[in-house]
Structure 1
């Protein structure tokens, strides 16, 4: 595929990108200082004035913003424009505490659409494409972001939303969907359902997909690509920052290009807040330099990632982030060892097991226990006790070696772990129920 770009900034020289970032940063800090009491207070406490921020090199003088700050200022306390300029509100799922509320001006919507348009163009989509959006529509940002991005490139949008999997498959067949957007776990469910229905995926017009909203591994990519017979692209975003399209993969697929003219990334040591060098792994932090309604300064994402400016064969000069290794708040600490669910998924897929699993963490007395429920492949006979025991032992050995701690493994019957059309619930941590 010939390299295609939506915007000239994607291939701009670094000095041009930095000049734009510096201009936008100084403008945004003044905007936040003058219109958001929270930021005025934070900067005053540090003795930092808007005039002190002249370039991206001054970024480390600024305070961090945390998810809790959005909750503490619920719902509209961090908005920087009058309410008559807010054209849309989204909110995160709010599984713990209050939802985090995000407002958008018309310019914010246009910027977000632009970012998603760049992603879709990188995957080879254009005005002839049929973009099938199976993210949820509503307060969650996934559906609307990709929808507006698809319209921006003048593609035809199919706003399928989530649910009713067999109907979704019929739409993919009948409407000629060329690219699908959904969570990776839902892509697997779609692929497995097609396989069970005897559908020949090589006869579909579907050629690619953008998958995000939950962590997924390279092994999961291979699984999706083989089930759906497509090229699977990663896309990254957070509702607080904008939504999907903060960064995206190009055909090289060695990391996601960050739209750094809008979102300036940093990697920090999560414990000390110290800024780390390119290539070092740490917590990803974003400063939103072009948002009007909700300008965020050094927002801590909790995602563990790495940044690289290694030249990319696609020609884009935008910095890349490697696929997040996990989240500091999803990371399980079991008997003093850091465990990410994605590590479990990697092991299962390497062993050619289905990617349907659940991690149950509990505490017996003072000792943490970890149990992994793994679905059997349809081809395994449940009553073949010796085969089940042998497979459990093989998975256990691989997990113990990868994780560095001992885990119990139980094979369960096919399709017994609940499927999700949104984000999968991979971890059940019972330890906090014991008080």
Structure 2
């Protein structure tokens, strides 16, 4: 694949390589060389490795988790967007996974795709980024390209990653190339993947940016250069903060529209008929995944360092985080209508992943919903075609295999995620009481929408 931007690569002259009998590139001493080393083999790193392999690049993956390495090298994928067949093709092209970070020294480009979670105080936790950067520094060679893709606060590439890399004795912009390119992976999206989603790239210097842009153009259709790493870092936070704030808006509207007797779902669909100036967002039981619950806090952290709060983000966080409790309140109301208490009632949770039709449970709002229901004495069960076992705070929740039996035996069913595998007509026809947090069920006496 040839991307829409092609710029000359800067840096020192690259070492001459010669192919061996399997087509693998080696240096003059016979040591294998790689075009790309991906550090962090999760939901971001593996799609990147997949597209790079498909474009003909020689790729190696580095991770600290032995289970991941064993699984990948055995051809078993644990990523929703990467099938075993995809992985077989990657392995056939020469891809391998390893915990040995010395392979970085034999790689022309290194992309860091490690997690950037929040700590218990909702502050950025960059321990994985620092660890990955230290591994790169130990193996950094002149002329290499290093790119950070992990979402973080503006200034991280320059203020955190660069000093660690320069402990190698090499200087960014002079001896090696440094850039930031935010990941835009949307797990389970059938339309947009890594190759056809525009790639934002910001470099420590213009030459760094150009080198990184040329690299990504080898397997991404469109590269979007920006003036620096901070602009690229901010772009990612802006994207997700925009979604976070608008989700909070409709979540709060769902609460007061219920009290006003207004069908917000119908109002949203009506507003969405406007062909300009409006984008549809839907309420739900809370926000989940690897971006929306986390990334805005990175931006809030950055603003607070200036001495004042980022009130939009913090208010949105407060609204979205209280939605699981509101869901439980609505469950209580439904049961009260039937003269039942939550204590002792059998509550079925339908769909415990954070998105439909994937197995990803990261930051799923199903957890806080389940936690509060359990505290109130509910007998919890769940049904999810993508989750074989599920525990909340270390305590297993029984899994229901048969949807019809599950909804018929539950005092109340809470639809948290609308997996396509769920036969919604079964829920509508056989459930006793239903709280539909996704607005996908037909309205009826026994069904309430959030």
In the superposition, the TM-score normalised over structure 1's length comes to 0.28
Tell me: higher relative CO, structure 1 or 2? Use CA pairs within 8 A at least 6 residues apart. Answer: 1
Larger radius of gyration: 2
Which structure is higher in strand share? 1
